[in-house]
Chains A and B, each alone.
Chain A
């Protein structure tokens, strides 16, 4: 492959990874925007999403790479897969908020963050102890259609991932910008106290933020499975940290920022893997995180400054 082909190929790969990171980053940004909490449990809600998707697809008799679907059956299976995964993860997010985080909402200091680390650890280990440490094959029912652009390959599955992620993110954007609840959400993010006084039910807004964020993380988990054809208890940590970096890069609390940030991190990962070394990917991404926080704390698109006033 020529250099241009490599560049194109890694752009395609990066955009696919980016779609996944964007979905995951949205959850961080929604919750942080309202509660100013880094929700570490989000890491493993994503991981659980990939398992729920796996089990849902298995219920359709899909396993491994043998069964290929097309047309309406494929659309149906994917629709049910995404729906079940997203509803399950959304519900899980709501339970986490309701049971472990709401009692600590007005506690000063790192208590809520420490709790979310604890919850993340519990989710991680429950999956490890029940499912086991070995990685699981994720069914791939998508037809192996490939388009060739120069020396680069564009997979049908990649196109599908782009379409699904775009639909989900577009839907979320419209919800936040247009709907009554979305407006309440933005108002709460700006000033919870004022929003409460104007009659916004802040508890409801927080629940919705957790539901939507976790549902999108679940969708991200299913996309992970479809893209990599495997899943494992361990996938939440790395993906979660990269997605968090994406949220910071885009300006934490900023919904479109998280989407763009995710795509940028995906591209950086793909290019870094190609042109530097995969082993250093995390070092590169963390360096970006630190540099952004130090030099442009409001991220590329700005909203909340992570420095003290």
Chain B
């Protein structure tokens, strides 16, 4: 307590100057101060090379943690063999600068000599000349990054289909295989003895040698660069796609995210960071052995990420520095102090204590304690959002304003008589169960078609097969004449079919705005390079995307607009239903598939939403609707299809269907006639 109070008093003199910096500038000021401290560090420490060396190593681990954070933190893929990519980068540079691989010299190598990549040297055995590779450190950095990324794709491709926990064990397997291959492929890697004589980096002819200071600056520049790249990627279309996959893979696919592509991208970029760091690490140590890249290294990097905060860019950097310095500074100091205490007290137990060896035990404890008590890590990736003010929370509910919505993004021609969606002979089976049997449904362009039926009649399966989440055994689904069966979910969304889910599938730990932006994923074009460099075109695209999201939110009056910065998980059920519709609308669909949109809403909210759907339809949006509340169906639908046990048992206008014998039987059982009066309530 006393310490805390003193610290608070000591720090309070800082409070006033900090308060004077405008909030928006505080981050920049912080980064500026950090940069100055990082640049000045070796100057203040001048004589103590070991400390600079420790910091350079810590920075190298920070780059590894940043790479793993992209895979684990952003995309949510647990990779337990991350050190394999570190090894691939390290050996790429090692093999191409050490005296290991020495093919006989021939004229073939002249061009490499001209490029400065190889020189002839006398052979150890015999009197011929052999090749000595002399790959430049600076060239090796991007080369190793690219090579490691290639291996990332190679390892990832067969395994990314697997559930997260299996991915973990398969990556662990790859993480084990790479060092085994390195150990056993002696011709290339010199086996367990390791590569020796790896060249130090040179800058304008000056070799870094074994002086820690230049390595330190290279490492710090790498950390800064990777922090920049990580943040730029996180706050872009790319980062949002990763987080969507992390939060809910199925919903991400249904919202137009190509899961395989973006998972591989995360793997490749994470691997590239590790490959680069590998080059740096062996260049600094000037040796490489298989043991430097085993499972313990992968776990250590994971501990850094978990400790700092999964998904938190600054967090993982802090985690890496703390744990690396704990190892190289503080545990050694602690050991020395304990030994000193042991000498004074004459205790052999204290004299023998060695805390440095217990580092892995500490890692294990950190993993368990962080997971049990502080899963968000030291610096959480997301900060709690400010709650709405009293006025905002109690503001009078305004109905949706459609005057402001520029609907040119929505829908096609209004009621041209053309067919939007044509479902023919679609059959879906799950094992022995026939979920859909030879279903035929036609949705006219600009129309509203409702599908009703008892629970388990196949309604949601129908939506799943239209949106590509479930495979059809037979049949065809044509959207404006184009077959969509067989297309992956994200391509179906791109064609203009967007949906909502019966049991809400929002991205709960993202904000309302982020959810709507992910809805626009397929309509935006920013790739990795543009996300990092953020040219004017990308900035403009982001601004427009946000504007469009706000226009869509405006449909729901002031229900969502004040809450755009809030986490979805904290909002009311009805609002989450609205967000899901907004997310689907944000993708600029031509047809909207609504799966029980009013479920869980009270009568007033139901009516409000029904009106909003009606208005959307009047503005040109085609709607296919699953609904249990028959009054909603009656108000909205031009045409109703009734499903029972996977069969279409009736179709017609709402009033026709209401009188249909078979429908009544399906809904109400044998005493259909007598119960018919209660139809509206039951349905």
Q: Does B165 contact A (CB under 8 A)?
A: yes
- Residues of B143-179 at the interface with A, using a CB-CB cut-off of 8 Å, are 158-159, 161-166, 168-170, 172-174, 176-177
Query: Which A residues are CB-close (under 8 A) to B249?
Result: 308
- Residues of B454-492 at the interface with A, using a CB-CB cut-off of 8 Å, are none
- Chain A nearest CB: distance from B407 CB in Å? 35
Known contacts: A38-B169, A121-B361. The answer to whether A114 contacts B161 by CB under 8 A is no
Contacting residue for B368 out of A37, A100, A107, A241, CB 8 A: A100
Check A307–B161 contact: CB distance below 8 A.
yes
Check A306–B162 contact: CB distance below 8 A.
yes
Query: Which B residues are CB-close (under 8 A) to A103?
Result: 372
Check A290–B173 contact: CB distance below 8 A.
yes
Known contacts: A121-B361, A121-B364, A282-B180. The answer to whether A115 contacts B161 by CB under 8 A is no
Check A293–B360 contact: CB distance below 8 A.
no
Query: Which B residues are CB-close (under 8 A) to A107?
Result: 375
Interface string of A76-113 (1 = CB under 8 A from B): 00000000000000000000000010011001011111
**B contacts with A: majority SS:** helix
Chain A residue nearest to B249 (CB atoms) is A308
Known contacts: A283-B181, A306-B162. The answer to whether A111 contacts B371 by CB under 8 A is yes
- Residues of B56-84 at the interface with A, using a CB-CB cut-off of 8 Å, are 72, 76, 78, 80
Q: Does B221 contact A (CB under 8 A)?
A: no
Contacting residue for A125 out of B181, B302, B358, B372, CB 8 A: B358
Check B177–A125 contact: CB distance below 8 A.
no
Check A129–B361 contact: CB distance below 8 A.
yes
A interface bracket (residues with beta carbon within 8 Å of B)? 35 or more
Query: Which B residues are CB-close (under 8 A) to A248?
Result: 166
Contacting residue for A286 out of B76, B173, B306, CB 8 A: B173
Query: Which B residues are CB-close (under 8 A) to A114?
Result: 78, 302, 306, 367, 371
Check B168–A110 contact: CB distance below 8 A.
yes
Distance A286 CA – B176 CA, assembled complex (angstroms)? 9
B interface bracket (residues with beta carbon within 8 Å of A)? 35 or more
Check A115–B372 contact: CB distance below 8 A.
yes
Check A120–B364 contact: CB distance below 8 A.
yes
Check A36–B364 contact: CB distance below 8 A.
no
Q: Does B295 contact A (CB under 8 A)?
A: yes
Distance A117 CA – B172 CA, assembled complex (angstroms)? 12
Distance A115 CA – B372 CA, assembled complex (angstroms)? 8
Known contacts: A114-B306, A117-B299, A307-B162. The answer to whether A286 contacts B364 by CB under 8 A is no
Check B364–A118 contact: CB distance below 8 A.
yes
Q: Does A224 contact B (CB under 8 A)?
A: no
Contacting residue for B375 out of A111, A119, A125, A283, CB 8 A: A111
- Residues of A276-309 at the interface with B, using a CB-CB cut-off of 8 Å, are 277, 279-280, 282-283, 286, 289-290, 293-294, 297, 306-308
Check A308–B371 contact: CB distance below 8 A.
no
Q: Does A237 contact B (CB under 8 A)?
A: yes
Check A113–B165 contact: CB distance below 8 A.
yes
Check A290–B159 contact: CB distance below 8 A.
yes
Q: Does B635 contact A (CB under 8 A)?
A: no
Distance A283 CA – B84 CA, assembled complex (angstroms)? 14
Query: Which B residues are CB-close (under 8 A) to A279?
Result: 180, 183-184
- Chain B nearest CB: distance from A240 CB in Å? 10
Distance A277 CA – B180 CA, assembled complex (angstroms)? 12
Chain A residue nearest to B179 (CB atoms) is A282
Distance A277 CA – B185 CA, assembled complex (angstroms)? 13
Chain A residue nearest to B166 (CB atoms) is A306
Distance A107 CA – B509 CA, assembled complex (angstroms)? 13
Interface string of A242-281 (1 = CB under 8 A from B): 0010001000000000000000000000000000010110
Q: Does A126 contact B (CB under 8 A)?
A: yes
Known contacts: A117-B299, A125-B358, A279-B180. The answer to whether A110 contacts B372 by CB under 8 A is no
Distance A126 CA – B181 CA, assembled complex (angstroms)? 30
- Chain A nearest CB: distance from B152 CB in Å? 15
Query: Which A residues are CB-close (under 8 A) to B117?
Result: none
- Chain B nearest CB: distance from A289 CB in Å? 6
Residue of A107, A248, A280, A293 most packed against chain B (CB within 10 A): A293
Interface string of A111-146 (1 = CB under 8 A from B): 111110111111011101100000000000000000
Known contacts: A38-B169, A286-B173. The answer to whether A118 contacts B162 by CB under 8 A is no
Query: Which A residues are CB-close (under 8 A) to B177?
Result: 282-283, 286
- Chain A nearest CB: distance from B444 CB in Å? 33
Query: Which A residues are CB-close (under 8 A) to B371?
Result: 104, 111-112, 114-115, 118
Query: Which B residues are CB-close (under 8 A) to A38?
Result: 165-166, 168-169
Known contacts: A117-B299, A241-B172. The answer to whether A307 contacts B163 by CB under 8 A is yes
Chain A residue nearest to B359 (CB atoms) is A125
Known contacts: A36-B165, A244-B169, A290-B173. The answer to whether A129 contacts B368 by CB under 8 A is no
Query: Which A residues are CB-close (under 8 A) to B306?
Result: 114
Residue of B173, B366, B371 most packed against chain A (CB within 10 A): B371
Residue of B158, B173, B366, B372 most packed against chain A (CB within 10 A): B173
Query: Which B residues are CB-close (under 8 A) to A129?
Result: 357-358, 361
Check B372–A121 contact: CB distance below 8 A.
no
Distance A128 CA – B360 CA, assembled complex (angstroms)? 10
Distance A257 CA – B217 CA, assembled complex (angstroms)? 55
Check B180–A109 contact: CB distance below 8 A.
no
Query: Which B residues are CB-close (under 8 A) to A286?
Result: 173-174, 176-177
Chain A residue nearest to B373 (CB atoms) is A103
Query: Which B residues are CB-close (under 8 A) to A277?
Result: 184
- Chain A nearest CB: distance from B429 CB in Å? 15
Distance A122 CA – B368 CA, assembled complex (angstroms)? 9
- Chain A nearest CB: distance from B377 CB in Å? 12
- Chain A nearest CB: distance from B448 CB in Å? 30
Query: Which B residues are CB-close (under 8 A) to A37?
Result: 165
Q: Does B363 contact A (CB under 8 A)?
A: yes
Q: Does B115 contact A (CB under 8 A)?
A: no
Q: Does B365 contact A (CB under 8 A)?
A: yes
Query: Which A residues are CB-close (under 8 A) to B375?
Result: 107, 111
Distance A289 CA – B176 CA, assembled complex (angstroms)? 13
Distance A124 CA – B357 CA, assembled complex (angstroms)? 13
Check A289–B173 contact: CB distance below 8 A.
yes
Contacting residue for B159 out of A100, A283, A294, CB 8 A: A294
Distance A37 CA – B172 CA, assembled complex (angstroms)? 16
Contacting residue for A289 out of B72, B164, B170, CB 8 A: B170
Check B76–A109 contact: CB distance below 8 A.
yes
Distance A118 CA – B362 CA, assembled complex (angstroms)? 9
Chain B residue nearest to A286 (CB atoms) is B173
Residue of B162, B180, B368 most packed against chain A (CB within 10 A): B368
- Residues of B167-215 at the interface with A, using a CB-CB cut-off of 8 Å, are 168-170, 172-174, 176-177, 180-181, 183-184
Residue of B159, B162, B295 most packed against chain A (CB within 10 A): B162
- Chain B nearest CB: distance from A86 CB in Å? 25
- Chain B nearest CB: distance from A127 CB in Å? 10
Query: Which A residues are CB-close (under 8 A) to B163?
Result: 306-308
Query: Which A residues are CB-close (under 8 A) to B183?
Result: 279
Check A118–B180 contact: CB distance below 8 A.
no
Give me 18 other A-B pairs in contact (C-beta within 8 A), A107-B375, A114-B371, A125-B364 excluded.
Answer: A104-B372, A113-B165, A115-B368, A117-B299, A129-B358, A129-B361, A237-B295, A279-B183, A279-B184, A282-B176, A282-B177, A286-B174, A289-B170, A306-B165, A307-B162, A308-B161, A308-B163, A308-B250
> Nearest 7 pairs between A and B by C-beta?
A118-B367, A121-B364, A125-B361, A122-B364, A286-B173, A118-B368, A115-B371
- Listed by A's residue number, 26 A-B pairs whose Cβ atoms lie within 8 Å are A100-B372, A103-B372, A107-B375, A109-B164, A113-B165, A114-B78, A117-B80, A117-B299, A117-B302, A119-B368, A121-B299, A122-B361, A125-B358, A125-B361, A126-B361, A129-B358, A241-B173, A280-B180, A289-B169, A290-B158, A293-B159, A293-B170, A294-B158, A294-B161, A307-B162, A307-B163
Q: Which residues of B are at the interface with A, using a C-beta cutoff of 8 A? A: 72, 76, 78, 80, 158-159, 161-166, 168-170, 172-174, 176-177, 180-181, 183-184, 249-250, 295, 299, 302, 306, 357-358, 360-361, 363-368, 371-372, 375
